Amino acid sequence: MGNTNTQSSSFPAAKLLRRIMAIVYDLFLLAAILFLATALANAVNQGKAIDQNSPYIILLDIYLISISFLYFGWFWTHGGQTLGMKTWKIKLINNDSHRITWKQVLIREITAVASWLFFGLGFFWSVFDEQKRCWHDISSNSTLIDLRHTENQ
- What contacts 75, CB < 8 A, 6 or more positions away? 81, 82, 83, 85
| Percentages of the chain per state (helix, strand, coil), in multiples of 5 | 60, 5, 30
Q: Considering only CA atoms, which of 86, 82, 88, 150 is closest in space to residue 112? A: 82
Residue 4 — very low, low, confident or very high, per pLDDT cuts 50/70/90?
A: very low
Amino acid code (one letter) for 16: L
What's the predicted TM-score (pTM) here? Answer: 0.87
Residue 10 — very low, low, confident or very high, per pLDDT cuts 50/70/90?
A: confident
Res 85 pLDDT > 80: yes
Res 2 pLDDT > 90: no
| Model pLDDT for residues 96-144, shown as the tens digit of each residue | 978 999 999 999 999 999 999 999 999 999 999 999 999 999 999 999 9
| Per-domain boundaries in the chain | 8-152
Question: What mean pLDDT is predicted for residues 59-65?
Answer: 96
pLDDT score recorded for residue 69: 98
Residue 25 — very low, low, confident or very high, per pLDDT cuts 50/70/90?
A: very high
